Amino acid sequence: MWEKTLARPAFPFGRIIVKRRVVEEYKGDSDMAIEEARALGFIYALAMFCIAAYLWHSKRWTRKMGIVFLVITLALGFLIFSPIIPWQFQSLILRDARGVGGPLVIAAAGILVMLAMSFLFGRFYCGYFCPVGAAQELASLAPVPKVRVENKIWPATIRWMFFVLFILAGYLFSIGLLRLFGIRDFFLLIISTGFFIFLAILVISLFLYRPFCRFICPFGAIVSIPAMGSRFKIERTGACISCGTCEQACPTNEAKKADLKAECYLCHRCLDVCPVDGALVYRRVKEQEGREGT
Ligand code: SF4
Ligand code: SF4
Ligand code: SF4
């Protein structure tokens, strides 16, 4: 019965049952079905990651398509079908197999796979398939004045400082600092202080691009390292006229020629505003190096 409900999560009555089950699990009941749902969620994120990378590389991706993916990820986040890796990372640090939703070693392998994929193709998980990122990205689309943070050093410094605190609190005192931000309560629709804190983060996201991702998320800090050396990236070509329009449009200040794209969420804004066809492309870094060398 439970498995049938999970197989059709969009059915409204099924959603209510799913949420009730999730709340029960949160309160402490063991439920294998939740673990299966998380495994399915991870497979979903991995498969969609590959599809998104293919669509980007074949130039079939559009901003509208991205918004559809974001809405799906957000909806699936509420059904725990889309993995909330920051939370699972915290559970891993706390050595909490129940929070991870399965054996710790599998969760560690899942996180490593996501890091490897980000090294190959960039931060598609962060861009489109993390429910926390999707909620902030959708909020950022609101047509209200935006606050730009031109300096890249201090957001990274704050996030790495939080990362150190997060690891120390987890390892030494078994304290999960992410609980303070209400991610899990928000997606389980548990009305608590944390729920309203995350809601406040979403309100800030209307004006400041992805505040949780850029200033707090410990997984975001780690994934920014492989993203710097990712094999596929957005690159300028010889057709670029150096007009700077893409740099103005980039919400994370990652669109300059020399930027490593550590904080590129593949939002597509730069590509949308570029006035020259083919001046900005998502491609394999090696291909570009090869062409420039010839
Ligand atoms: S930085 Fe963290 S919260 Fe943001 S999208 Fe990536 S994993 Fe999710
Ligand atoms: S606008 Fe910036 S963050 Fe968005 S895809 Fe372009 S470089 Fe990446
Ligand atoms: S918007 Fe296009 S043409 Fe202008 S600087 Fe960026 S890549 Fe070059």
- Within 10 A of 77 (CB to CB), how many other CB atoms are there? 23
Q: Which residues, listed in sequence order, are joined to residue 236 by a DSSP beta bridge?
A: 280
Q: Domain ranges in the chain? A: 2-293
In this structure, of 3-12, 115-124, 137-146, 150-159, the range with the lowest mean pLDDT score is 3-12
* Tens-digit pLDDT profile for residues 276-290: 999 999 999 965 554
Centre of ligand 2 from the C-alpha of residue 197, in Å: 27
> Is the model's pLDDT at 98 over the cut of 90?
no
Single pTM value for the model? 0.86
Question: Residue 293: is its pLDDT beyond 80?
Answer: no
Query: If DSSP codes are grouped into helix, strand and coil, which group holds residue 248?
Result: helix
Task: Let me know: does 190 contact 23? Beta carbons within 8 Å.
Answer: yes
Give Cβ neighbours of residue 223 (< 8 Å, ≥ 6 apart): 114, 115, 118, 123, 125, 126
Q: What does the chain come to in residues?
A: 294
Contact 211, 181 (CB under 8 A): no
What pLDDT, on a 0 to 100 scale, did the predictor assign at position 242? Answer: 97
pLDDT recorded at residue 96: 85
Ligand 1 neighbour 221 (Cβ under 6 A) = no
State the pLDDT at residue 287: 55
User: Residue 14: pLDDT band by 50, 70, 90 thresholds?
Assistant: very low
Q: What is the pLDDT, as a whole number, of residue 194?
A: 95
Tell me how far apart the alpha carbons of residues 30 and 7 are, in angstroms, rounded to a whole number: 20
Please give the pLDDT value at position 82: 75
Euclidean distance between CA atoms 131 and 111, whole angstroms: 16
Give the atom of ligand 1 at the shortest distance from the alpha carbon of 183: 3
Whether the pLDDT of residue 7 is over 50: the answer is: no
Give the pLDDT confidence of 140-162 residue by residue, as tens digits: 999 999 999 988 999 999 999 99
| Nearest atom in ligand 3 to 270's CA | 1
| Residue-level pLDDT at 224 | 97
Q: Residue whose CA is closest, atom 8 of ligand 3?
A: 240
For position 35, what pLDDT does the model report?
A: 60
Q: Rounded CA gap, 202 and 209, in Å?
A: 10
> Torsion over CA of 182, 184, 186 and 191, rounded to 10 degrees?
-80
